[in-house]
Each structure stands twice: as structure tokens, then as C-alpha cells.
Amino acid sequence: MKTGSSKIIMVTTVAIVTIVGYPLLMHHFLHNGQYQDLALIYLMQFIITQLLLATVFASTLLPGKTPLITHFAQMVYGLKLPSEVDRYCRNTTWAWALFFIALALVSLLLYTFASAVIWSFFCNVLYFPLIAMMFVVEYFVRSYSLPHLKRLPILKGWNLYWENKKSS
């Protein structure tokens, strides 16, 4: 029987291999001129995924809803957040929604006006580094905007999320 942490490690490993492997494989096929008919399908898949992610973030900004980033902050810091943290979380939720819309738009523009190689490189190779960059930028903005806020190591935050997920 697997322990909770070994399940998390296994799921994380499979996710990382899939997240890294699939885009690189798609880029390889598209770059080498194979599966050209799949390019439009992949474009639609990419754009729909980005717009769904944007919708997930944006829908939590509706009246009466808790912004998604606020929800994550409450897992770490408790249900009652200071007003400046609450405002920051709402703005960060907006930033993530707009980020995913921008990814969809850039992909569509590259597909329309650039070569298949450039478009494929953006969607398959740059995509995850751009998301990682968004996390890094958000971290530095948060550190500057909320210098008094206690910092947690990323693995501690990851573990708190999964513990909260189990209890809900």
C-alpha cells in the first residue's frame, strides 16, 4: 500500500513527464512536417485549454465568489485575510485570467501570421517556461507588495494544498 506522500510523488512525476514530453513530441512532429493536418486541431485544443483556464480564474471574480488566489491564500494563512492581502489576491486572480487569455491570443496570432515552426515552438516549448515565469514574477511582485507576509517554501504550500484537498 502506498503512503500519501508516495502517491503525491507518483502523480507529480507522471504529470511532469506528460507536461514536458507531450509538447516536445508535438513540436518534433510539427517541425518535421508530420501531422500537418493536426496543427489546426492542436491550435483549437491549445486555445480552448487557455480560455478554460482563464474562465476558471475569472469566474471566481464574480460577485459573491471567492477569487481563486484568495482561496489558496486562505489555505495557507487562514480564512480572515488582511484587506491588502485580499486585494492583492483578487488582482493576482485577474492577472492569471488575463495571462491565459494572452497565451491564447498569441498562439492564434502566431498560427495565423508566423511559420508553423515558430507557432509550434511557442505552444510546445515556451508554454511551460512562460507559466513558470508567471509564478516567478508573481512571487517578486508579492514580495514587494506584501513584504510583511510570511513566506512558505513551495513544497510546504504544495503539501498544505493536498492536505486541504483531502479534508474537503
Q: Look up cell 494572452; give the residue.
A: 102
Measured from the Cβ of residue 157, the count of other Cβ atoms closer than 10 Å reads 14
Q: Residue 150, SS3?
A: coil
pLDDT digits (tens, 9 = 90+) for 90-143: 999 999 999 999 999 999 999 999 998 899 899 989 999 999 999 999 989 999
Residues 118 and 130: their CA atoms lie apart, in Å, by 15
Sequence-distant contacts of 110-114: CB under 8 A, at least 24 apart: 111/39, 111/43
In Å, how far are 4, 42, 104, 147, 156 from 140, measured between CA atoms?
32, 33, 25, 10, 18
pTM given for the model:
0.75
Asked if pLDDT for residue 32 goes beyond 60, the answer is yes
Averaged pLDDT score across all residues of the chain: 85
What is the model's pLDDT at position 155? Answer: 74
- 95 versus 30: the higher-pLDDT residue is 95
What is the model's pLDDT at position 145? Answer: 95
